[in-house]
Chains A and B, each alone.
Chain A
């Protein structure tokens, strides 16, 4: 498909999705909202973790920081400023975390990022209890579901655009090389540390914004709500299911899994975590490179 055709098609889909809330019941707008949030999270996650294969469980650390920033600042300044502040804080946190952890290899990185989310939650709780004497905050912003949805849809489109642009740039090639063999990449002239840090920061900033934009949905926010580790796991599973190395992979994984999770959490609320875990294992074993890669393999196999 030519690039122009693909763009025209994507733009058309975007318009349809943007108009949808005007025609569908509020409940379904809510579903679309949640789905768009996860599509963005999974795509942003894969931006860094896909090519580099650094499996990050820090998603909810940044997501939560975004949401909590809005909870703290929403009455102090105009909304666009609040979003900017959230993005800035997420970026700064990502820089610090990136500089201190991107030298860690493999499983140490996974464990550290998981610990980070918990650490951030504890620090925020401690601060609220001991310094500000508030536990839980209210978000008073005049947004309905569809307003939040539109913001997320715009962010999703921008995220996919960034992912597409990186994929065809020098940066994208360098990232894939880093994922394959850091030593070889460095000897080819790639500043490995800088490139990993850059992508980690871009990815984390987008994730922070997803949290910030979604904050008004809760009206009441406390650390245990916005720093829920399930968010990190769901993001990871969605990106892996679709294939974290491809532009559309995370989206392809996020849409069906979000619907499945919605249904599961309503129908089997007590067994949700177990099913999530089993699904994770299944995906890793059956199609470690994701559905899209699996389909390609099957098609090639069929032809051969």
Chain B
């Protein structure tokens, strides 16, 4: 089977800053791959270019063999790519259920009415928000907002899921729940690109990872091995000492 996500020679500049420099990598169907790197190394920018939030300055993004480089975000979503945002972005005038209904109604299929409400409840139950559909998002705790962020992404029924530090800011027991959830998705055959700083999560979830530093890919390979490489350790420690 061909690659689920294929990124080749992706570039992005912000004024004089080269945020992403000639980045290429591939995800096979059903793979959960970590995208790592110190703060400001360009991980979110790569994600933004995949999801269509930012236009790239060069290079190509292919999903399931289709070139989506210049697609607008809503086309990308309908093509089967969903994402969460690094800072949670629940829609405050919508109820919890409506946040999920939105993706069901406009994602890959057009679910609406009774069927959509049932599906929304199903997605909410999957992330641990069963029976909470009528609540206001403003009243949700941080972890519940993260759960909602995931439910909304899953509701568009993606084949490729982009998680931008979805596990960040959770306490140890919540982290365990979060990791289980992603493992569950993996079991269902979802392809996931996981931007993450928490090594415990990366080790548990990713067979393979890609490490970026200053906009470039500096290492790629099997997780355990890559995380041992001097260049990777230096990139992280250098950041910590800065």
Nearest CB of chain A from residue B99's CB, rounded to whole Å: 8
Residues of A within 8 A of B53 (CB): 183, 186-187
> Does B72 lie within 8 Å of A188, measured CB to CB?
no
Does B70 sit within 8 A of A, measured CB to CB?
A: no
Residues of B within 8 A of A191 (CB): 72, 74
Nearest CB of chain B from residue A23's CB, rounded to whole Å: 43
> Does B91 lie within 8 Å of A170, measured CB to CB?
no
Of B82, B92, B98, B108, the contact of A173 (CB 8 Å cutoff): B98
* Nearest-CB residue, chain B, relative to A190: B106
> Does A176 lie within 8 Å of B91, measured CB to CB?
yes
In the complex, which of the residues B83, B105, B106 has the most CB atoms of chain A within 10 Å of its own CB atom? Answer: B106
* Nearest-CB residue, chain B, relative to A182: B73
> Does B74 lie within 8 Å of A186, measured CB to CB?
yes
* Nearest-CB residue, chain A, relative to B76: A187
> Does A188 lie within 8 Å of B94, measured CB to CB?
no
Does B152 sit within 8 A of A, measured CB to CB?
A: yes
Mark contacts of B102-140 with chain A using CB atoms, 8 A cut-off: 1 yes-contact digit, 0 otherwise. 110111101010000000000000000000000000000
> Does B73 lie within 8 Å of A187, measured CB to CB?
yes
* Nearest-CB residue, chain A, relative to B53: A183
Does A206 sit within 8 A of B, measured CB to CB?
A: no
Does B156 sit within 8 A of A, measured CB to CB?
A: yes
Known: A170-B106, A184-B85, A189-B106. A177 touches B91 (CB 8 A): yes
Known: A186-B73, A189-B156. A181 touches B106 (CB 8 A): no
| Cα A170 to Cα B156 with chains together (Å) | 14
Of A177, A186, A187, the contact of B82 (CB 8 Å cutoff): A187
- The bracket for how many chain B residues form the interface is 20 to 34
Nearest CB of chain B from residue A151's CB, rounded to whole Å: 34
| Cα A189 to Cα B89 with chains together (Å) | 15
Nearest CB of chain A from residue B55's CB, rounded to whole Å: 13
Q: How many residues of A contact B (CB 8 A)?
A: 19
| Cα A173 to Cα B95 with chains together (Å) | 11
In the complex, which of the residues A179, A184, A187 has the most CB atoms of chain B within 10 Å of its own CB atom? Answer: A187
Does B93 sit within 8 A of A, measured CB to CB?
A: yes
Nearest CB of chain B from residue A245's CB, rounded to whole Å: 7
Residues of B within 8 A of A177 (CB): 91, 94, 102
Does A14 sit within 8 A of B, measured CB to CB?
A: no
Does A31 sit within 8 A of B, measured CB to CB?
A: no
In the complex, which of the residues A184, A190, A191 has the most CB atoms of chain B within 10 Å of its own CB atom? Answer: A184
Residues of B within 8 A of A184 (CB): 85, 89, 91
| Cα A183 to Cα B73 with chains together (Å) | 8
> Does B92 lie within 8 Å of A174, measured CB to CB?
no
Residues of A within 8 A of B74 (CB): 186-192
* Nearest-CB residue, chain A, relative to B51: A187
Nearest CB of chain B from residue A87's CB, rounded to whole Å: 29
> Does B83 lie within 8 Å of A170, measured CB to CB?
no
> Does B93 lie within 8 Å of A179, measured CB to CB?
yes
Nearest CB of chain B from residue A46's CB, rounded to whole Å: 14
Residues of A within 8 A of B98 (CB): 173, 176
Nearest CB of chain B from residue A187's CB, rounded to whole Å: 5
> Does B92 lie within 8 Å of A180, measured CB to CB?
yes
> Does A186 lie within 8 Å of B72, measured CB to CB?
yes
Of A179, A188, A245, the contact of B106 (CB 8 Å cutoff): A188
| Cα A245 to Cα B92 with chains together (Å) | 13
Does B210 sit within 8 A of A, measured CB to CB?
A: no
Residues of A within 8 A of B110 (CB): 170
Mark contacts of A158-179 with chain B using CB atoms, 8 A cut-off: 1 yes-contact digit, 0 otherwise. 0000000000001001101101
Nearest CB of chain B from residue A168's CB, rounded to whole Å: 10
Mark contacts of A137-170 with chain B using CB atoms, 8 A cut-off: 1 yes-contact digit, 0 otherwise. 0000000000000000000000000000000001
Nearest CB of chain A from residue B179's CB, rounded to whole Å: 24
> Does A173 lie within 8 Å of B101, measured CB to CB?
yes
Residues of B within 8 A of A174 (CB): 102, 105-106
A-B contact pairs, 15 of them (CB 8 A): A170-B112, A173-B102, A180-B93, A180-B94, A181-B91, A185-B102, A187-B51, A187-B73, A187-B77, A188-B74, A189-B106, A189-B107, A190-B106, A191-B72, A192-B74
Q: What 9 pairs between A and B have smallest CB-CB spacing?
A: A189-B106, A186-B73, A189-B77, A180-B91, A188-B103, A170-B105, A188-B102, A191-B74, A189-B107
- What 8 new A-B contacts, CB under 8 Å, besides A176-B91, A187-B73, A189-B103? A170-B105, A173-B102, A176-B93, A180-B91, A181-B89, A185-B91, A187-B52, A188-B156
